[in-house]
Amino acid sequence: MPSLSKFLADNPDLSGKEADWLQHLVGDWNLLSDLLRTDLVLWIRGEEGALAVAHCRPATGSTVYYEDPVGTVRSAVTGDPEDPDAAADPEGAEIARLLAGGEPTEEPTPIEREGRSATGVMVPVRKNGRTLAVLAAESPDSDATPSDNETHQRRLGVRVLEMLQHGAFPIEGAPIPPRRGAPRVGDGVVELDEAGVVQWTSPNARSAFHRFGIAGELTGTTLAELSTEVLQSRSPVDESLPLVLMGRAAWRSDMQARGGTLSLRAVPLTQNGTRTGALILVRDVTELRRRERELITKDATIREVHHRVKNNLQTVAALLRMQSRRMKTDEAREALAEAMRRVSTIALVHESLLQGSEEAVHFDEVIDRCLRLAVDAASATVHRAGSPRLTDAQVEVRTEKIGRVGTIRAEEATPLALVVTELATNAVEHGLSETGGTLTIRSERTGSHLVISIEDDGNGMGAAKPTGLGTNIALTLVQGQLGGTLTWENRPEGGTAAVVDVYLDPLTL
């Protein structure tokens, strides 16, 4: 099924701004659906008749649609329009009439949806005097007497529906509220008049304000005055809060005091361009904000831990470098240099974890640094391409990276970085230290399957099997910690390739 954006983009009757307006309506029409306790269906002109392009179910009542109506086409008749015996479709005819610019009927009409009786109201969606679409509000029939809460909310919904017909809803220029913590009708509703005086509050709204510390009857008072007494604290106050509490701006703001937090959203109600009141949606987000603060604190703590571990590892590497300079034998100096390189590789992973907000590593950046580290820490007979040559006898080693690894878990990044560094260092020292050439890391990832090939174009290893501490470390990490395989093979064009084949654990966000 195409998306709403696809439906609107393919419709030649709608300009770009008109399509954006309908997108804005669909992004905020749950307010209208919850107030009226109705399903909402948006109809636009199609090639074969009216086309349903969006649907919204109420969170405060029952739905009349078990199957999504998006994609349904309605015309003035059912069946073939050229067939004289085709039956008339009153609903399709009414949608077509409204799309053509007709005025809506005020009385709801009885309809049937999926074998159940329901009531429907159709209104035109207009902008700048032009009808862009038709909105159908449909609710199941009920014999129960509506409660006082339902009656007030429905009355507010009718006022918003009238604004919709005159192009005043959704409110132009109002920011779309963030989804996280955004209040809805079921959380609590407050009705204000044009002066900001409370006319009615839903039970959930009264409970939220009482928990916040505002006691007593709210009706006949202003929220701004009542909140001033509670907000006498050192906590900073959002500068848009007074406008929201008075219902003068279509905005969303948080009000925090005494350890509690309320999320407030104002929707000004207008008639003929004049503000006649407002409704305030309110939600108690105290627990949600507390958890957000805990996550922020946890994230900061984890970053600090990675920062300190990186610094400590760099200190260890520096100490090993100093110690190696005091060694009198080449074997001791090489052993300390290899240990320093391995510690530096682990530090690279922790430094990468400092850059992101998740416990995951963008491993391609680590590979770049592992390549440089492997060549720079290799034998003194080589130098990296682009770096200064220390002696005329040095050979040049070029580095190349093909393919992408992407993001992997921090637990797998450390052993994989060590493996890549060890294999790259071995390739330089045993394959390229005398002839020079190109060191290539080729990565292929399909889902969780990752194959990394570390290749050189040197003399090749022939029939000999790779040995040494670095080889044993790489084998142990690949087989033990990563649960994969490590194989060596001679390249047909010359040189050696070490192939790491592993299956990574999926990232959990």
pLDDT at 438 over 80: yes
Angle 162-164-167 (CA atoms, 0-180°, nearest 5)? 115
User: What average pLDDT does range 112-135 have in this prediction?
Assistant: 90
Select from 88, 6, 99 the least CA-distant residue to 50.
Answer: 99
Tokens encoding 410: 């921090």
Q: What's residue 151's pLDDT?
A: 92
User: What average pLDDT does range 387-393 have in this prediction?
Assistant: 63
User: What average pLDDT does range 321-340 have in this prediction?
Assistant: 74
Q: What's residue 57's pLDDT?
A: 93
Q: What's residue 374's pLDDT?
A: 72
pLDDT tens digit sequence for 34-86: 999 999 999 999 888 899 999 999 998 889 988 889 988 888 765 555 555 45
CA distance 507 to 509: 6
Q: Which residues of 146-174 are buried (b: 16+ CB within 10 A; e: fewer)?
A: eeeebebbeebbebbbebbbebbbbbeeb
Q: Is 136 exposed, middle or buried (0-12, 13-18, 19+ CB in 10 A)?
A: buried
Cβ atoms of 46 and 2 closer than 8 Å = no
Place of tokens 């060596």: 488
pLDDT tens digit sequence for 198-207: 999 999 999 9
CATH number of the 4-165 domain: 3.30.450.280
Q: What's residue 3's pLDDT?
A: 79
Q: How high is the mean pLDDT of the chain?
A: 81
Q: What's residue 350's pLDDT?
A: 61
pLDDT at 109 over 90: no
pLDDT tens digit sequence for 151-180: 999 999 999 999 999 989 988 777 665 555
Q: Could you tell me which residue, 221 or 426, shows the higher pLDDT? A: 221
Q: What's residue 509's pLDDT?
A: 45
Q: Could you tell me which residue, 302 or 32, shows the higher pLDDT? A: 32
- Alpha-carbon dihedral sign for residues 474, 475, 480, 481: positive
CATH number of the 361-509 domain: 3.30.565.10
- Torsion, Cα 205 206 208 212, to 10 degrees, reads 140
* 109-113/198-201 β-pairing: unpaired
- Alpha-carbon dihedral sign for residues 248, 252, 253, 255: positive
pLDDT at 356 over 80: no
Q: What's residue 352's pLDDT?
A: 59
User: What average pLDDT does range 233-252 have in this prediction?
Assistant: 79
Topology of 185-284 in CATH?
Beta-Lactamase (3.30.450)
CA distance 114 to 39: 14
Domain ranges of the chain: 4-165, 185-284, 287-357, 361-509
pLDDT at 383 over 70: no
Q: Where are the beta strands (DSSP E) in 57-129?
A: 73-74, 77-78, 87-88, 109-113, 116-127
Cβ atoms of 422 and 369 closer than 8 Å = no
User: What average pLDDT does range 338-367 have in this prediction?
Assistant: 68
Report CA 53 to chain centroid distance, whole Å.
24
The helices-and-strands tally (H runs, E runs) of the chain is 13, 21
For residue 170, say if its preceding peptide bond is cis, omega within 30 degrees of 0. Answer: yes
As a whole number of angstroms, the longest Cα–Cα distance in the chain is 106
pLDDT tens digit sequence for 311-324: 776 777 777 777 77
Q: Could you tell me which residue, 409 or 340, shows the higher pLDDT? A: 409
Beta carbons within 8 Å of 44's beta carbon, 6+ residues apart: 7, 8, 11, 13, 14, 22, 50, 51, 53, 99, 132, 133, 134
CA distance 30 to 157: 11
pLDDT tens digit sequence for 255-299: 887 778 888 999 999 998 899 999 999 998 888 777 777 766 666
Select from 88, 176, 155, 165 the least CA-distant residue to 129.
Answer: 165
Same fold, 185-284 and 361-509: no
- Give the per-residue SS3 of 352-401: HHCCCCCCEEEHHHHHHHHHHHHHHCCCCCEEECCCCCCCCCCEEEEEEE
